[in-house]
Amino acid sequence: MAKEIKNNKKVRYYTKWNDHLYMALVHVLCAVSVVCILVPLIFVVAASFSSPKALLSGKVYLWPVDFTLRGYNMLLGHKLLISGFLNSILYTVVGTVINVVMTVLAAYPLSRRDLAIRNPVMFLFTFTMLFSGGMIPSYMLVKNLHMLDTIWAVVMPTALSVWNLIITRTYFQSTIPQEILDSASVDGCDDFKFLIKICIPLATPILAVNVLLYAVGHWNSYFNEMMYLNTTTKFPLQLVMREILMNMNTAGMSMDVTKQLEIQETKYLLQYTTIIVGSVPVMLLYPLVQKYFVKGIMVGAIKG
């Protein structure tokens, strides 16, 4: 620990050697973490701009070899890519709006200490984190509700994340004092106005966290879409790119060895290209909410 010594109105700080050692270890671990994250990322970017032969021969490390846009031209030229991209945007925006609204409407009442049944209700929410109906009952439910092959089959089964609910509820408990509610009640503010005009403006960090977590989840989702969507023009981007890679597996079965090798090389290149195309929109979203993310996730994780 640092010691403060006052002498002739001058303040001097003396730090123990173990504090220097601790900070050195922190910097080393941070540097190692950055390297572990950046090296694979740089490799994927370099591989997406390299020739398939260079990839298969293991010549690509951190810089493109035999620079080419072949993978991007093939991927961006696919007839379903534009519709898949627009569908992903639609599913992400609509799904995230539903998620945030449902999370706030569930988290705020559960954060109120004057709600008598909040503990039993919270137990029921938590129970679903451990046990669920399963894939087949979920499919039958969506089918019986006549939501198959519609946007609602994609966004409604995941309308609420219990983990995000817990974080948001804890944020409300830790950030909004009971005195504010009492003061607003004296002024004639009901619960709904208190939520809209006071709680939500004060909950900007946790709302930004929810937007980021839900949006990333919707953007990367493909399993529910694969089960519930039948029309290819309704496929999201992730499912379109999966179909492209799956078609590459079956395209060369009836061809000679040379063609099969060429298709295998192209598939290997497309794997890295799809990673870049599918990740860039999410990477562009993160800087917009980054300043709220750390604050919201830390405050929301504190036990209330």
pLDDT for position 112: 86
Same domain, 167 and 195: yes
Kindly state whether residue 74 falls inside one of the protein's structural domains: no
pLDDT for position 249: 64
pLDDT for position 1: 46
65, 41, 78: which is closest to 279 by C-alpha? Answer: 41
Percent of the chain's residues with pLDDT above 70: 85
Handedness of CA 190, 193, 195, 197 (dihedral sign): negative
H-type helices in 178-256, by residue range?
Answer: 178-186, 191-194, 200-202, 204-220, 223-228, 237-251
Same domain, 59 and 91: no
Q: Which of 142-146, 179-183, 223-227, 235-239 is predicted with the least confidence, judged by mean pLDDT?
A: 179-183
- Identify the H or E element spanning 146: none
Same domain, 143 and 231: yes
Dihedrals phi, psi of 11, to nearest 5 degrees: -105, 125
Examine the fold and report which residue of 46, 69, 92 is the final residue of a domain before the chain moves on.
Answer: 69
Same domain, 28 and 121: no
Mean pLDDT of the 188-197 span: 84
Same domain, 10 and 56: yes
Task: Please state the domain count of the chain.
Answer: 2
Q: Which two tokens stand for residue 63?
A: 């810089």
What pLDDT, in 10s, does the model give residues 62-91? 888 888 888 888 888 888 888 888 999 999
**Residue in the structure block whose two tokens are 């099969």:** 260
Range among 13-27, 92-106, 213-227 rated most confident: 92-106
What pLDDT, in 10s, does the model give residues 278-292? 888 888 777 776 666
> What range does the domain containing 10 cover?
2-69
pLDDT for position 301: 47
Same domain, 127 and 246: yes
Kindly state whether residue 172 falls inside one of the protein's structural domains: yes
Q: From CA 26, how far away is CA 209, in angstroms rounded?
A: 26
Same domain, 11 and 157: no
Examine the fold and report which residue of 69, 104, 126 is the final residue of a domain before the chain moves on.
Answer: 69
Same domain, 147 and 237: yes
For residue 231, pLDDT beyond 70: yes
Kindly state whether residue 267 falls inside one of the protein's structural domains: yes
Same domain, 166 and 39: no
Higher pLDDT, 214 or 14: 214
Q: Which residues contact 103 (CB under 8 A, 6 or more apart)?
A: 160, 161, 164, 165, 168, 210
Handedness of CA 70, 58, 30, 24 (dihedral sign): negative
Same domain, 61 and 145: no
- CA 161 vs CA 33, 67, 72, 299: distances in Å: 29, 43, 35, 18
pLDDT for position 32: 94
What pLDDT, in 10s, does the model give residues 54-63? 887 788 888 8
Q: How confident is the model at residue 104 (pLDDT cuts 50, 70, 90)?
A: very high
Average per-residue pLDDT for the chain: 82
Same domain, 16 and 135: no
What pLDDT, in 10s, does the model give residues 11-42? 454 556 677 788 889 999 999 999 998 898 89
